[in-house]
Amino acid sequence: MKFQPVLANVLAGIIFSLGGLVATFFGGLPVAELFGSEGRLDWADVALGIFIVGLLAWWILVGRSGRLSLLRGAIAGALAGIFSYPVVLAVDELFRISPEIDAAVEQAATVSRLSGLGFLTTGFAAVPTMAVIGIVATLLLRPFYPALKGGDPALKLLRGTGVVLLVLAGALVALFVGLTIVPLDHGHVVGTGDLAEPPGYEQAIASFEAARQREDQIPINPRCASKLLLQESRAAPTVIFLHGLTNCPAQADELAPKLFALGYNVYVPRLPGHGELDRMTTALATVGAEDYVAATEEAIAIGRGLGGEVIVSGLSAGGVLSAWSGQQRADVDQAIAMAPFFGPRQVPAWANRAATNLLLLLPNIMMSWDPQNPEGSAEMDYAYPRVATRALGQFMLIGEVTAELAGREAPLAQALSVMVNEADTEVNDRLIDRLVAAWQAHGAQVGVKVVPLALGLPHDLIDPRQEHANTEVAYSLFVEMLDASVGR
C-alpha cells in the first residue's frame, strides 16, 4: 500500500482514542454522557483529548521518520498515556477559558493539579495500557509503512526511553500499592460512641450558647454563626443540617426557616475552620478529620438534649459527616447524606483510597473552586472561594473510614437515606453506591433519592444564591426524605 503519512497519523490517533475510551470505561471513571453539561467531563472530551495526544505522539515517534516498530509504537502509547491527563482536562476547559490573565493562569493551575492527582493514582494502569494500545496500532497500521532497509538509527535512544518509561511505570505501581496499603489513620474518626446519658434541655441550650461564645472569639462573618431554631414543644424532632466544605450556616438561610415552619427544631452548626471574615484564609488546612467528627458529635448531643427525634442531614462534606453518623451513632434516628463528597469525580472509586492518602501526605495547596473567578461570588460573600487540598483529604478520610467500617459492621442509625444528584459535577457517585451496597449487605433499608439529570441542579443544591439553584425543587425533595423518616 502506498505510504500515506497523514492518513496513518489520523488512524493512529483514532486507535488511541478508541482504546482510551474502552480503558476509561472499564477503569471505572464516572463519565456518563457523550456531550456533558458545563463543568462535567464527558466522553467527547476524553475521546478528543486522547486523539490529540495520540496523534502527536505517533507523529513524533513514527510518522515523522516513517519508521514503524513495536518499540516506537509502545513508546508513543506510553507517552499518550502520560500526557492524556492534562490534555483531556484542558479540552474540558477549552470553551471556558477566561479572557483575564490571572483567571486563565488559575485555570491552567487547576488542570495541572487535577491531572497530577489522576496520574499519580491511576497512571500505573494508564501508561502500560496505552503502550499496549500503541503496539496494537503498530500491527494494524503496518500496511501503511514501507519496509526500510538497515537498522533504526535511533534504536539506542529508543531503548533508553523505553527503560525510563518502564522505570516510571514501576515507580507508579509502587506508589499506588504503597498509598493503597497504608492503613487509614482512624484516630478519633470512629468517634466516642453514643451518649451514655443524653443531656437535658437546658444543658443542650447551654452547649449551643457555649458554641456561639467560642465563635465570638473568632472573626467570623456574622452570617456564618451557628443557628438554632426552637419549637415550643420539647417533643419536636430536630433536624441538624451540616453545611458543605468552604460554605457556612448561611447556606441554609432559606432551608432552615422552611423546616422550622414544618414543625422541626433546626440546628445548623458552623463546622471548624469555616465562616471566617477573611475569605482567603488558609484555616481549613489545619483542621483534622477528628475535629469535624467532634463537631458532629457535639451537634448530635445538642439535638438529643432538645428531646425529640434527631435527624442528621448534610450536603457534600456535611453529607460525609451525616453518613458517618448513620454508621456510628445508634442515637441518631435518621441520617440523610446529600451528595456526600467521598471523593472527586475525576478519580475512579478503586483509586480513591490512594488519592486520600496522597492528599494527606502532600503539602497543602489552596485551589480555587472556580478558576474563572478566583475571588469568588460577591453574592456568596460568606463562602470561601478557595479550598484546601488537605481539607479534601480529611473528608475523604472520613468517607473511607466510614466505608471500611460499613464493610465490617451494620450501621447503627435507625434509618438511612442518601441523595444522588445525577447532574453533580463534583462527587463520585460510585463511592456513594459503594456505601449504600455495604449498608444493604447488612440488611439495612436505605432510602435513595435520585435527582434526575434533566433537572440540572448544581452540586450545592441547598444554597439559594448558588448559580443554577432551584431550591423549590431541591427543598421539596429533601422534605420528602424527612417525611419518610418520621412517617408523615
* pLDDT, tens digit, 9 for 90 and up, residues 224-233: 999 999 999 9
- Whole-angstrom distance, CA of residue 382 vs CA of residue 54: 44
The region that residue 311 occupies, defined by phi over 0 for left and psi between -120 and 50 for alpha, beta otherwise, is beta
- Position 358: which residue type? L
pLDDT at 487: 47
- Whole-angstrom distance, CA of residue 184 vs CA of residue 214: 31
| Contact residues for 98 (Cβ-Cβ < 8 A; gap 6+) | 104, 107, 371, 372
All three cell numbers of 135, joined, read: 503496539
* pLDDT, tens digit, 9 for 90 and up, residues 85-125: 999 888 877 766 666 676 677 778 888 888 899 999 999 99
How distant, in Å, are the alpha carbons of 22, 47, 49, 79 from that of 7? 23, 18, 19, 21
pLDDT at 113: 86
Residue 315 β-bridge partners: 338
How distant, in Å, are the alpha carbons of 58, 174, 303, 433, 440 from that of 182? 38, 12, 36, 24, 27
pLDDT at 488: 44
| Contact residues for 74 (Cβ-Cβ < 8 A; gap 6+) | 131, 132, 134, 135, 138, 162
All three cell numbers of 292, joined, read: 469535624
All three cell numbers of 420, joined, read: 444522588
Q: How many CB atoms lie within 10 A of CB 156?
A: 9
* pLDDT, tens digit, 9 for 90 and up, residues 72-83: 999 999 999 999
pLDDT at 97: 64
Instruction: Specify the residue for cell string 440523610.
Output: 336
Determine which of 228-242, 270-284, 366-380 has the lowest per-residue pLDDT on average: 366-380
All three cell numbers of 90, joined, read: 484542558
- Whole-angstrom distance, CA of residue 174 vs CA of residue 351: 14
How large a percentage of the chain has pLDDT more than 70?
Answer: 94
Is the torsion defined by CA of 453, 456, 459, 460 positive or negative? negative
* pLDDT, tens digit, 9 for 90 and up, residues 142-154: 988 887 777 788 8
How distant, in Å, are the alpha carbons of 49, 230, 295, 318 from that of 206? 57, 14, 16, 24
Quick one: average pLDDT of 434-457?
95
pLDDT at 36: 52
